[in-house]
């Protein structure tokens, strides 16, 4: 099971071990995140679609008002037995239905179009920042947050979703809130027709209130209901956020098992991995019951609220109807208007689940933004192009530390000149791979300065090669496009690295990461080196899965094809040191430098 980050601010806040960030900071981030798209290069489309969305809301409100007026006329006609009006009322009802269908259709088209354009822009914006300055690597290396991929894919999707009824995006929630106020005013005017004056006693006087009893009962009911529903729904936000975390963790664990299925099957570790997945799902199950209780309380509160809302206007208007003060049609219109008026005022109650989801999204996106924007002090300075002529890599006062500050090794001064071939040796765990990361600019923890030449090209080959999804030709040509190299060249390379058996399948779409053995993958790495022909080659145990003959062939082919290349290798096979000119030996946290020829003598 992939462990979640345990000692980061977001995890500590959710566990109650650290206080929340200041509200002003969180609101400022929410505002920036919500408005950034509307001042982007796509701002014309953004504002045009928002204008269309608002126009559709106007049409929807107008349809509600027409339906209310029709309801009053219809029931008055029934009460007065005016059969001649029936057909005209049916026709008017058909027109109102067509208007409602049209606004609903347009609402979907415009809302979905705005959603996908907004999501596309935000996704590209986050991906650009995630890849910039190798932040995706740094976030994973330090385990700063969990599942940044899920935040970019799922949280951004929900953040930009323009719902059809109660929108889930902050924009749709805001627009719905604005039009709720507009509808409250419109239906409040209808309620005034059937409302009785109301006054409150104060110090022996009766002070009349503006409006009428229906208006004030609706306002009081909404205020009390909103307060109660908000209090009931408070646990829903935290449980909803934990659900996102646990689902993402469980999905990551499943992917981890799928990617390592062969090793798990060979080692008979099915029970261990299944147990880890059970633990991950157990987190989902426990949180689900808590979320279920929070949601059930919220649903019961909302259901009770809606039911009582439909009864209150009848208690207030039926006595007036019995007294002959209002018609039966006015009773029905008042009931509908009261429900619409109360419903628009109680938008917070109705949209509380959507608001809760957005609060969770804001929190997760803020944690992602904080991780991307965090400027961690760089102990090891890295200067591309900072070496003098004839020098490929130079290190001055180089000291490597672990991310927690624990010392790892001290290299001090080290210079690699053009054309030299260095082998790095030492027991496992001494920091050989970390040293390669440092001279490549990927390890900032420590002290000193590293400079790398910009003359020519550089390539770093890890022990476990990255094979992109697609064809074998794509894997060999990476990071170039497959179209940039002809098939004859790739076929010749496959023969040269002893993979000619796969030449006929170079265009087949397969999971080559799974189909090729570790040794075959390292021969793909050799093919990639021979295709790219870098002037600086950094190799991290790239022959560890090869037999002695193929390992020797690896270095023979590289030196034959690139005799002037600068090579830095990490190897455990002493026989491979003969293909190098210099040695850097790591032992007990220190490094010693020597010539290979001198060691042999």
Give residue-wise pLDDT tens across range 388-423: 889 999 999 999 998 888 888 898 889 999 999 999
pLDDT surpassing 70 at residue 93: yes
DSSP H/E element including 13: helix 9-14
Backbone angles phi, psi at 122, to 5 degrees: -65, -40
Position 6 confidence tier, pLDDT thresholds 50, 70, 90: very low
Residue 238 or residue 368, greater confidence: 368
Residues 567 and 492 sit within 8 Å (Cβ to Cβ): no
Phi-psi group of 470: left, alpha or beta (phi > 0 → left; psi -120 to 50 → alpha; rest → beta):
left
The residue count of the chain comes to 601
Residue 161 or residue 230, greater confidence: 161
Residue 538 or residue 203, greater confidence: 538
Token pair of 367 as six digits: 């944690």
Q: What angle do CA 110, 111, 116 make, to 5 degrees?
A: 100
Give residue-wise pLDDT tens across range 129-186: 998 888 888 888 888 887 888 889 888 988 888 865 445 788 888 888 888 788 777 7
Short-list 286, 274, 273, 276, CA closest to 243: 286
Q: For residues 557 and 550, what is the distance between their CA atoms, to the nearest angstrom?
A: 10
Give residue-wise pLDDT tens across range 14-43: 544 456 677 788 888 888 988 999 999 999
Short-list 394, 466, 463, 407, CA closest to 433: 463
Residue 556 or residue 173, greater confidence: 556
Query: Token match 């026709």: residue?
Result: 91
Q: Label the pairing between strands 407-417 and 536-540.
A: unpaired
Average pLDDT over residues 188-192: 71
Strands in 458-461's sheet, in edge-to-edge order, are 380-384, 446-452, 391-401, 407-417, 590-595, 582-587, 421-425, 566-570, 536-540, 458-461
Q: The dihedral of CA 5, 380, 408, 453: what is its sign?
A: positive
Q: 83-92, 330-339, 469-478: lowest mean pLDDT where?
A: 330-339
pTM: 0.70
Domains along the chain with CATH numbers: 10-200+209-373 (1.20.1560.10), 381-600 (3.40.50.300)
Residue 227 or residue 461, greater confidence: 461
- Predicted confidence at residue 197, as pLDDT, reads 62
Report the share of the chain in percent with pLDDT over 70. 85
Short-list 341, 366, 155, 350, CA closest to 233: 350
Q: For residues 68 and 102, what is the distance between their CA atoms, to the nearest angstrom?
A: 18
pLDDT surpassing 90 at residue 563: yes
Give residue-wise pLDDT tens across range 513-527: 878 888 999 999 999
Give the alpha-carbon dihedral of 107, 236, 13, 4, to 10 degrees. Answer: -80
pLDDT surpassing 70 at residue 205: no
DSSP H/E element including 506: none
Give residue-wise pLDDT tens across range 347-381: 766 777 777 778 878 888 888 998 888 877 788 99
- Predicted confidence at residue 9, as pLDDT, reads 61
Short-list 52, 43, 140, 56, CA closest to 104: 56
Position 1 confidence tier, pLDDT thresholds 50, 70, 90: very low
Residue 272 or residue 597, greater confidence: 272
Residues 402 and 445 sit within 8 Å (Cβ to Cβ): yes
Q: For residues 288 and 259, what is the distance between their CA atoms, to the nearest angstrom?
A: 28
| Neighbour count for residue 526 (Cβ, 10 Å) | 28
Close Cβ partners of 250 (under 8 Å, ≥ 6 residues apart): 277, 280, 281, 283, 284
pLDDT surpassing 70 at residue 436: yes
Residue 439 or residue 201, greater confidence: 439
Residues 567 and 580 sit within 8 Å (Cβ to Cβ): yes
């Amino acid at each position: 099971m992939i462990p979640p980050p345990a000692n980061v601010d977001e995890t500590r806040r959710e566990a109650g071990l650290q206080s929340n960030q200041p509200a002003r900071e969180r609101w400022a981030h929410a505002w920036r995140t919500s408005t950034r798209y509307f001042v982007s290069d796509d701002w014309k489309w953004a504002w045009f679609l928002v204008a269309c969305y608002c126009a559709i809301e106007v049409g929807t409100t107008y349809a509600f008002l027409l339906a209310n007026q029709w309801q009053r006329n219809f029931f008055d006609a029934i009460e007065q037995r005016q059969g001649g009006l029936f057909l005209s009322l049916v026709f008017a009802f058909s027109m109102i239905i067509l208007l409602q269908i049209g606004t609903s259709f347009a609402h979907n088209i415009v809302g979905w179009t705005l959603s996908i354009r907004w999501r596309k822009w935000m996704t590209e914006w986050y991906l650009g920042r995630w890849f910039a300055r190798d932040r995706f690597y740094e976030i994973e290396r330090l385990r700063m947050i969990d599942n940044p991929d899920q935040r970019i894919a799922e949280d951004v999707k929900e953040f930009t979703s323009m719902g059809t009824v109660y929108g889930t995006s902050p924009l749709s929630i805001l627009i719905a809130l604005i039009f709720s106020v507009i509808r409250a005013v419109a239906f409040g005017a209808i309620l005034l027709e059937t409302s009785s004056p109301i006054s409150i006693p104060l110090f022996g006087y009766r002070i009349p209130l503006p409006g009428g009893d229906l208006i004030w009962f609706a306002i009081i009911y909404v205020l009390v209901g909103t307060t109660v529903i908000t209090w009931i729904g408070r646990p829903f936000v935290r449980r909803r956020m934990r659900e996102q975390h646990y689902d993402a963790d469980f999905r990551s664990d499943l992917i981890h098992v799928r990617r390592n299925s062969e090793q798990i099957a060979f080692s008979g570790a099915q029970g261990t991995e299944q147990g880890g997945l059970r633990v991950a799902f157990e987190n989902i199950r426990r949180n689900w019951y808590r979320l279920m209780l929070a949601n059930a309380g919220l649903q019961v509160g909302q259901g009770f609220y809606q039911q009582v809302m439909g009864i209150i206007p009848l208690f207030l208007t039926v006595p007036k109807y019995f007294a002959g003060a209002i018609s039966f049609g006015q009773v029905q219109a008042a009931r509908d208007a009261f429900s619409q008026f109360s419903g628009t005022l109680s938008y917070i109650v109705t949209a509380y689940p959507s608001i809760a989801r957005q609060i969770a999204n804001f929190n997760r996106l803020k944690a992602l933004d904080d991780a991307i924007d965090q400027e961690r002090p760089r102990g090891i300075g890295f200067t591309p192009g900072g070496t003098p002529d004839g020098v490929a890599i130079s290190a001055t006062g180089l000291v490597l530390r672990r991310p927690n500050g624990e010392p790892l090794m001290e290299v001090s001064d080290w210079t690699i000149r053009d054309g030299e071939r260095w082998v790095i040796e030492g027991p496992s765990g001494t920091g050989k791979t970390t040293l390669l990361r440092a001279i490549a600019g990927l390890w900032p923890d420590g002290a000193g300065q590293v400079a790398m030449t910009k003359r020519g090209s550089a390539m770093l080959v890890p022990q476990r090669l990255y094979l992109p999804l697609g064809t074998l030709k794509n894997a060999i040509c990476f990071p170039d496009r497959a179209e940039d190299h002809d098939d004859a060249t790739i076929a010749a390379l496959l023969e040269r690295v002893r993979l000619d058996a796969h030449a006929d399948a170079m265009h087949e779409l397969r999971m080559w990461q799974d189909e090729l053995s570790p040794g075959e993958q390292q021969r793909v790495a050799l093919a990639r080196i021979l295709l790219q022909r870098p002037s600086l080659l950094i190799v991290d145990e790239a022959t560890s899965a090869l037999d002695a003959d193929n390992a020797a062939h690896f270095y023979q082919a590289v030196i034959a094809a690139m005799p002037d290349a600068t090579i830095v290798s990490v190897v455990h096979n002493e026989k491979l040191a003969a293909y190098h000119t210099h040695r850097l030996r790591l032992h007990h946290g220190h490094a010693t430098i020597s010539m290979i020829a001198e060691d042999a003598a």
